[in-house]
């Protein structure tokens, strides 16, 4: 059974803290994605990676960075958390070769920045 796991379901951080959100997939997928979901805005792509050490900016990369040192793990980093980064963060993965392959999502991390 395919599985995408995220390190925390709920996280509370203070403004200015460095925040790491971890995502692990066990499907040997090449592609991994980070989205944020906000009410009335849907899912917006922050960054994605199509291979180890490769990354591409999505629609809203400002204030975020990512790391992909191993194929199964994709980390989202908030260098200095701000209150406008309070959101639900969703990680996804998909196999390469066919861009029409569905993306499999993790359960999400609800981050609150105080």
Partner 1 sequence: DQQVKQNSPSLSVQEGRISILNCDYTNSMFDYFLWYKKYPAEGPTFLISISSIKDKNEDGRFTVFLNKSAKHLSLHIVPSQPGDSAVYFCAALPSNSGYALNFGKGTSLLVTP
Residues that bind partner 1 (CB under 8 A): 4, 9, 31, 33, 35, 40-45, 48, 50, 56, 58, 90, 92, 94, 96, 99-100, 102-108
Side-chain half-sphere exposure of 42, counting CA atoms within 13 A: 3
Nearer to partner 1, 50 or 63 (CB): 50
Shortest gap between Cβ of 71 and partner 1 (angstroms)?
15
Shortest gap between Cβ of 86 and partner 1 (angstroms)?
17
Residue 94: partners with Cβ closer than 8 Å, 6 or more residues away:
29, 31, 33, 101, 102, 103, 104
Nearer to partner 1, 72 or 105 (CB): 105
Residue 14: partners with Cβ closer than 8 Å, 6 or more residues away:
81, 113, 114
Shortest gap between Cβ of 12 and partner 1 (angstroms)?
16
Nearer to partner 1, 3 or 14 (CB): 3
H/E element, 48: strand 42-49
Nearer to partner 1, 77 or 88 (CB): 88
């Amino acid at each position: 059974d395919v599985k995408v796991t995220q390190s925390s379901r709920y996280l509370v951080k203070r403004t200015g803290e460095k925040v790491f959100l971890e995502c692990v997939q066990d499907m040997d997928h090449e592609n991994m994605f980070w989205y944020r979901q906000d009410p009335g805005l849907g899912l917006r792509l922050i960054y994605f990676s199509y291979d180890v050490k490769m990354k591409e900016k999505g629609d809203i990369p400002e204030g975020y960075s990512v790391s992909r040192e191993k194929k199964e793990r994709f980390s989202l980093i908030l260098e200095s958390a701000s209150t406008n980064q309070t959101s639900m963060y969703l990680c996804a993965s998909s196999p390469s070769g066919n861009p029409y392959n569905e993306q499999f999502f993790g359960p999400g991390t609800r981050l609150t920045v105080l």
